[in-house]
Each structure stands twice: as C-alpha cells, then as structure tokens.
Amino acid sequence: MKEMKKQLFVIGLFLSAILQAQEYTYVTDKTFNASSDLLGYTFIPATILYQNEFDPRNPDEVAVGVGDFSFSITQNYLYIEGNDIEGVYSANSINPTEYGYIIATMNARNPMIQGHLKIVLDNNNRANGLIFKKSTDTEEMIFKIADTPEYLEKQEAAFFTNIDNPALTIDNIWGKTFYPFFRIGESQQRLRMQDSVRISIHSDTTIVEKKKKQKVEIDQYLLFSYEGVDDNGNRKKYEQRYGFKGIKERESRDPNATVDKYLLEIEVSGLPEKYIYFYLNRKRAISKFELGPNQFIIRGY
C-alpha cells in the first residue's frame, strides 16, 4: 500500500513539477478526426477578428493576450474564459459539419440562452479558427488559432516522436523510447523539449551464476520519466518504473478507425489502472499512449 501511494504521488508530481507556462495553442498541435478528439481539449486563440465597416471582406485582426480567451471542451460542458462571454455552457451536442464541428450550447443557469461554438478545420483536420455565438441575440465572435512559428516547428519536429514513426508490434516494442508532444488529463499541457517527457520499454538480460551454473534472468519493465522543478526551483529528474506482466494486441472493430486502429495493451505492476495503452494508426505508428488519467499525444496526431 505504501509503494502504491508513492507511485501515485510520483504521477501526481507530473502535474506540478513541470512548469506549466501558459501559451497559445497552435494549428499543428493536434488533428481532430472525430468529435471525440475535441473532448478534454482547450483552445487558446491568438487573435480575434472584427468587421471592417469600410472593407467588409477584410476584417481587422487584433492580437489577444495569452489566455485572454480560452475554450475548454468536455463531454457535457464548454468552459469559456474571456470578458463578456466567460462562463460555463452546457454542450447539448457536437456534430460534424462541412467546415469542421459545431457544438450547440445552452447557458447552464438560463436554458433560454442558446448559442454555439464552431470549430473550423483546415484540409488536414487541424483547427485554425473558432466562431462563438453566445445567444441568438448576439453576434458571432471569430477567433484565429496561431500557426506554429517556423523555428519552433523545426526544433520540435527533430525532438519529439512524430506520427510517421516506424511501425510498432509486440515483437519490436522492446528498446523503444517515445517522446510525446501533448498531454491531456485533468488539465491540458503542451509539453516542452526541456521537460524531456518520455516512456521507454526495456528488456534487460543478465547472466547470474548460481551453484556453478549460469542462469539467464530477464528483467522487463516500462520507465516513465521527465524533468521538472522541485520546491526550491531546481531542475530535477523524476522517473517511475512499472514492471512488465504481459502484452496483448487488439484491433478496432470500427472500419473507419484511423489513429486508433490497433491497440497494444500492456499489463504492468505498480499502476492502479493495471494497464498502459499504446494506440496505433493504420500504419501501426504510435499516435498516443495512456498512462493512468493522462493521455500523451504524439506530435502530428
């Protein structure tokens, strides 16, 4: 029981040890292939568009501060921060449209106030705009999601595991290390290179001599590690080891499944949920892994 509490504590440290500097969300942060991909996600737009009365076809684009506006989507609610539209709205439905998705909203305190949030996607199913209407009596507000700065895109592409990583199987998983790009859990976090968040799968072989006989011992485990900051503000490496107990592969019954076509289900010791899940796309490249209450997204997912 003490060991289990210790491991839960280490996982909990992840939420606080890594500096969670707020920043804009970028177009290339995530793809949205299904409405369920929106759940747990928070959009932080960079600009807002206002109608130009002199040139209606070219609206004025005004920068907003990081976190001045945010839109967090859950199964039942839409949480919005930002001036006059701040509040909690019931999410009555999430439906696909020709431009992306639309969430029908209702004010949780006054059901008569109904509106919507439109999520506008590009040709790669990435969100580049949001259109929010608070109620039938208000005008739509148009927000733009920022493009990833070119210098940052190049650095992150070289550091993080990308969606075009090699195919993963039960047989070749050993010795692999994955660097996720995004975390979605109780809160959302765009991981940074200096955080060095990673999960690695190990199979160590040692030869032990007992009673003049050599015996081969195999130690298999998963290691989740990252670099954070302790209470004194010093950089510190955190890691948690999970003993390997078994692995199974499953295939989705959904013929339209893309990023989660295959699932590697790894049974481990030292984790209350008992399993760590690796989701694979149609090419068998890892798209995300699930550790406890957190989903870790691969860059380009």
- Residue 14 pLDDT: 53
Closest CA to 51 of 62, 65, 67: 62
Answer yes or no: are the C-beta atoms of 276 and 266 closer than 8 Å: yes
Identify the structural domains of the chain with CATH numbers, from first to last. Answer: 27-144 (2.40.128), 150-297 (no CATH)
Say which amino acid occupies 213: K
Q: Judge whether 161 and 179 are in contact, CB under 8 Å.
A: yes
User: How many whole angstroms separate alpha carbon 121 and alpha carbon 115?
Assistant: 20
List of residues 6+ apart from 184 with CB closer than 8 A: 40, 41, 294, 295, 297
Strand, helix or coil at 126? strand
| C-beta atoms surrounding 135 within 10 Å | 14
Residues with Cβ within 8 Å of 256's Cβ and at least 6 positions away in sequence, in order, are none
Cα separation, 89 vs 115, whole angstroms: 9
- What is the spatial distance between Cα 297 and Cα 30, in angstroms, rounded to a whole number? 8
Which pLDDT value is given to residue 134? Answer: 93
> How much is the CA Rg of the chain, to the nearest whole Å?
22
One pLDDT digit (tens) per residue for the chain, 301 residues: 444 444 444 454 454 555 555 688 999 888 898 898 899 899 999 999 988 777 777 888 899 998 899 999 998 999 999 988 998 999 999 999 999 999 999 987 888 889 999 999 999 999 999 999 999 889 999 999 999 999 999 999 999 999 889 999 999 999 999 999 998 887 788 898 988 999 999 999 998 887 778 888 899 999 999 988 777 878 888 899 999 999 999 998 888 788 888 999 999 998 998 999 999 998 999 999 999 889 999 998 8
Pick from 130, 4, 153, 158: nearest CA to 73: 130
For the sheet containing 294-297, what is the strand order? Answer: 177-178, 198-210, 213-229, 235-251, 262-269, 275-280, 286-291, 294-297, 182-184, 188-190
